[in-house]
Amino acid sequence: MLDVSEATLQSVNLSVNKPSIPAGIETLVSVRGTYTNGVTDDIDIELEHIKAEYQDVTGVTGVIIKKDGSGNVLFSSKKPGNIILTYENGAISQKISVKVTDAVVQAIKLAWVDQNEQTTDSYIVGLSKKIQATAKFSDESSSIVTSQVFWNTSDNIEVVRTNSKDLDQRYIKFKDYGPAFVKVGWKEIESDEFIFDISDAEIEALVIDIDKVKLSQGSRTKFSVTATYNNKKKSDVTSLVGWRYQEQDWNKIINIEDGYIYALKKGKGEVEISAALNNFESESIKLEVADKELKKIFFKNSDIKIPSGITTKIPVSGIYTDDSVGYVEDVIFVIENNGDSINVTEQNNSYLTATGEGEFSLLAKLKSNQHVATERIMVSVDQASNLLLFVDETPMLVGQKRKIETLVGFKNSSYMHKVHFSKALMSVTGCKDNDCIEFNDLTQQLIAKKPGEFEITYCYEKMDGLCASRIVKIESSVVLPAMENPYPYQMVIDKGNSVVATDINSTHEVKEFNNSQKYKLRLHHKNFEINNEADNIRIKSVKFQGQSTLNINGLAYIKLPCNISPDIENRECNSDDTLSFGPATIGNKVYFLFEVEQDVYDNQFSTISGSGEKKTLTTYFVEKFDIKKLSTGGSTGGSTGGSTGGFNPDCVSDDQCGFPFPCCNL
């Protein structure tokens, strides 16, 4: 038995029913969470935690994320493209790519879901059958579109939905005998009519089959109802029948829903129920709802061996009046026959500590002194012979954190006990300065400090020679420090990262722009240049602040280099991928805002190898430049030219005189 702390959410799996969908078609979005105890379950999604954006274009709308009447999250896009769908809730996040194609509907077909029931004599008044609609698209693909089509039916059938999560199926309920039809439509496309005859066969018997008739408060039991007809057919009518309760309204003790009978937590007593369909009623069945009480407590493991000196949890389970089984926390231990060789100290909540070697007898009782059946077991105490060290061995980046755990127990046994990891008992091999890996005792996390491959060895202090080792690889980090409020006028600039402008003639880095001279603009991170060719780091966009003041009467201009970002809208490019400013910009300041994305794997809360979540960090780098008049002694390289004599048509006023522009009135 692996005893770990209370389970917390470790990772999520974001998914859609149709990873490649035509434009306009909806798909179900779901999120399943995996917890530290290994359990995986669905997570209720709030719309505020889901967002979508087109991967290849900006400023394009058309993505629709909504909830239907049953609380399901649906995704669709009016326009084709690659779309990044993101789930983010606190520290937990995941992104997936969904491809939306430009395929259009060419045909729609209806079909029964249960192929083995497609016989003429199975269409009986009061029954229903599952049906679905499938669309064929221009790219030869097909998709189930049951939830999106318009339904057209004859009066003697009804289209119903019984399962809130089942978007792809509907039920056709047969209301009256005779000819029937159903067809569906999508925009201008219609399916062929589905024509069939509904039989007027009559019910001869309704039989209720219930797993348990004695329930405790808050529990449930599964049931089914089978109908037998005078044409000798039998059908499962669980989802079709109505119910009659022989109980007082003020003493309602059960609910019946989705194939289960639920015993209410606040009610108790007896109730008789019967099922009814097509004016036929089944025989009644008596149900009893009582307080949920323990009948017996027992030890889940009958042969327990615990390590000496380690506080250990001894799991105690209970059997309740509804025959359910669960853990029981409200217990105390009675320790017997421990002799002189063992000292046992009881802790709270099923924990105890034993020192020495030998055996003792253990009895569990309820703290409330409620009398229930129990049992005694023999517990052996010995020196631990096995130590397990858990840490994800996938490479870390400098600055990243990672969970580490220590389990102590016995070889060839699954019964291990979690102990607190101590920095004093950890040694690191392969690090000269002994500061390559730090450890936070409070969070039980390793912190990567320097690149390299290191071996962590941990020796448990109470057992000589009980050690375990793990290899941790740390890679150089290019993690960009995120700025909380990335707006230019705050001028928050990381010293190791900078926006650099270069005079194209001299490749000299400059902090000021000369009017009408050409410059190259790029982003440096520490000792390398960031471009859009790297797999895990890329420039998403470049913006400049102050365009409204620079654009005076349409005379000012700014040209962003083509190689900076392909996503900038309405940009102009000089033929040589350079940046320049018009004469009306003299005396202004321009702020460049680089938006940089980097992919990292965050597994700081996990010890499971390969469990890291891929995250995208967005960082902004800001730099300010002044724009000044080009002096007559300045470089002529990259100038837009102009005669030193005559009238300059770009000149606004005489105070803008200067090479290469002459004064306006010369």
CATH of domain 294-382: 2.60.40
pLDDT of residue 570 exceeding 50, the answer is no
pLDDT tens, position by position, 434-476: 788 988 888 888 998 888 899 998 888 655 678 888 899 888 7
pLDDT at 64: 87
Residue 365: pLDDT band by 50, 70, 90 thresholds?
Answer: confident
Q: Give the separation between CA 627 and CA 581, rounded to whole angstroms.
A: 8
Q: Order of strands across the sheet with 452-459? A: 396-397, 467-475, 452-459, 426-429
27-35/73-77 β-pairing: antiparallel
> 202 — alpha (psi -120 to 50), left (phi > 0) or beta?
beta
Which CATH number does 2-101 carry? 2.60.40.10
**Per-residue pLDDT at 646:** 33
Contact 639, 648 (CB under 8 A): no
CATH topology of domain 105-198: Immunoglobulin-like (2.60.40)
C-alpha count within 13 angstroms, C-beta hemisphere, residue 131: 24
**What pLDDT, on the 0 to 100 scale, is given for residue 181?**
93
Query: How confident is the model over 621-630, as a mean pLDDT?
Result: 80
**153 — pLDDT class (breaks 50, 70, 90):** very high
pLDDT higher than 80, residue 342: yes
Q: Quote the pLDDT of residue 115.
A: 65
The gap from C-alpha 251 to its chain's centroid, in whole angstroms, comes to 42
* pLDDT, the chain, mean: 77
Q: Is omega for the bond preceding 660 within 30 degrees of 0, making it cis?
A: yes
> Which single residue is written with the structure tokens 């009467």?
553
Q: What proportion of the chain, given as a percentage, has pLDDT over 70? A: 77
Question: Phi, psi at residue 550, to the nearest 5°?
Answer: -80, -30
DSSP 547: H
Angstrom distance (rounded) from CA 159 to CA 215: 35
| pLDDT tens-digit readout, 238-265 | 877 888 887 655 567 888 887 888 888 7
Decide if 65 contacts 83 (C-beta within 8 A). Answer: no
* Neighbour-count burial of 226, counting CB atoms closer than 10 A to its CB (0-12 exposed, 13-18 middle, 19+ buried): middle
* CATH for 386-475, options being 1.10.238, 2.60.40, 1.10.3470, 2.60.120: 2.60.40
Distance CA 529, CA 506 (A): 19
Could you tell me which CATH class the domain 203-290 is placed in?
A: mainly beta
Q: H/E element holding 349? A: none
| pLDDT above 70 (res 1) | no
Q: What is the pLDDT of residue 647?
A: 35
At 559 the pLDDT is 66
pLDDT for the residue 651? 44
**Domain spans of the chain, in order of start:** 2-101, 105-198, 203-290, 294-382, 386-475, 488-628
Lowest mean pLDDT among 66-80, 383-397, 493-507, 637-651: 637-651
Tell me, what's the pLDDT at 5? 38
